[in-house]
Amino acid sequence: MSSSGLLANEVALLFRRRRTWAMLLALGAVPVLIAVAVRLTSGPPTGRGPAFLDRVAGNGLFVAITGLLVCIPLFLPLTIAVVSGDTIAGEAGTGTLRYLLTAPVSRPRLLLVKFAVAALFALAAAAMVALCGLGIGALLFPTGPVTLLSGTTISAPAAVLRVGLVALYVAVSLLGLTMLGLFISTLTDVPVGAMAATAVLAVTAQILGQLPQLDWLHPWLFTQHWLGFADLLRDPIRWSEFGQNALLQGGYLLVFGALAYGRFASKDVLS
């Protein structure tokens, strides 16, 4: 099977699964819930609740930003943990990994394809939250020019572009965790174990990031820049956070990709 054929096959497999759609729909429900809650009540007083929540009533486009902000600490990492933890361990657990490898596919290539599919899911998840947020926001609230954090007002299309950038930032932020999950998935034949371990790591890293005693460690945590997308809502856009985040996630890809290769290539696939 050619590599692209394998990739297409795996993508189709992922998005044919009912579990994948259940997770995407659950993610999409978050901004919808936020929007409905704000619509039904008079809205929170200024400066309370999650950042941007107080702006939702004035401009529906902020539903997408608020949704991403609410999803990134837990909901998005959970779904990433499920997908990436399942990559290898799931196949091993159901005994299909052996058959997959009997096809003329090298192990590194299979790893790469598995990661690409999981990364695609990360992008889809972030896009789902953003799109559902934009949709429900436009439906329930007035939309129009958006005020950035710096007090500058930009047009609605430009604001939608910024929401897209924020979604992209969030998707990039999740890549390190995706590779981490893939590595853990090569360690075990029990997919649930890999999923749980990945989710626990995501939460643990965020807790460690809260402890001021560990500030020497903070720049190395993959969760360090997760909330840094506010810099994309300033005027002019501040790209340094985006760059640092991409660099950090790239480092995680390199280290845990190499570890996953080492483990998977030397593993005895018995089932």
Partner 1 sequence: MAVKPAVLKKWIPAVLAPAVIAAFAVGASFSANAQVELEPKTPQQVLQMIAGSSVVDFSGTARATLDLGIPQLPDPGSSGMMQQPGSPGSEGDTDTDGAPETAGANLLGMLSALSGTHEARVYVDGPEKARIQVMDGMDEQNFIRNGSSLWHYDSAENTAVHLVLPKVPRHAGPPRHTMQPPTPGVVADRLIEAMGPNTEMSVQDDTRVAGRDAYILELVPRSDGSLIAKVSIGVDAATGAPLEVVVDAVGQEDPAIAVGFTTFTPETPAADLFEFTPPPGAEVTEHKIAKKFLDHKPDHGPRAKAKANGHKIPKPFLEHKTGAKDKNAKPGPKNPAGHPATINGTGWDTVVVVPAKEVPKDLANNELLNQLATPVEGGKLLHTSLLNILVTDDGRMVIGAVTVDRLQAAANNQ
Nearer Cβ to partner 1, position 16 or 48? 48
Per CB under 8 A, residues contacting partner 1 are 46-47, 51-52, 54-55, 58, 69, 145, 147, 149-153, 227, 230-231, 234, 236, 238, 240, 251, 254-255, 257-259, 261-263, 265-266
Give the number of other CB atoms < 10 A from CB of residue 155.
11
User: What's the min distance (Å) between Cβ of 11 and partner 1?
Assistant: 26
Cα 231 from Cα 170, distance rounded (Å): 12
User: What's the min distance (Å) between Cβ of 28 and partner 1?
Assistant: 23
Among 73, 58, 69, 68, CA closest to 137: 58
Query: Which token pair is 88?
Result: 């290898």
Strands of the chain, DSSP E:
146-147, 153-154
User: What's the min distance (Å) between Cβ of 254 and partner 1?
Assistant: 5
Nearer Cβ to partner 1, position 6 or 65? 65
Nearer Cβ to partner 1, position 82 or 130? 130
Nearer Cβ to partner 1, position 23 or 55? 55
Nearer Cβ to partner 1, position 23 or 201? 201
Is 224 strand, coil or helix?
A: coil
Looking at residue 175, the DSSP 8-state letter turns out to be H
Query: Which token pair is 174?
Result: 């999740």
User: What's the min distance (Å) between Cβ of 243 and partner 1?
Assistant: 12
Contact 156, 62 (CB under 8 A): no
User: What's the min distance (Å) between Cβ of 231 and partner 1?
Assistant: 8
User: What's the min distance (Å) between Cβ of 266 and partner 1?
Assistant: 4
Nearer Cβ to partner 1, position 9 or 147? 147
Burial class (CB in 10 A: 0-12, 13-18, 19+), 187: middle
Residue labelled with tokens 């009540």: 41
Burial class (CB in 10 A: 0-12, 13-18, 19+), 236: exposed
Query: Which token pair is 161?
Result: 């572009």
User: What's the min distance (Å) between Cβ of 213 and partner 1?
Assistant: 14
Looking at residue 41, the DSSP 8-state letter turns out to be S
Contact 119, 126 (CB under 8 A): no
Beta bridge partners of 147: 153
Nearer Cβ to partner 1, position 39 or 267? 267
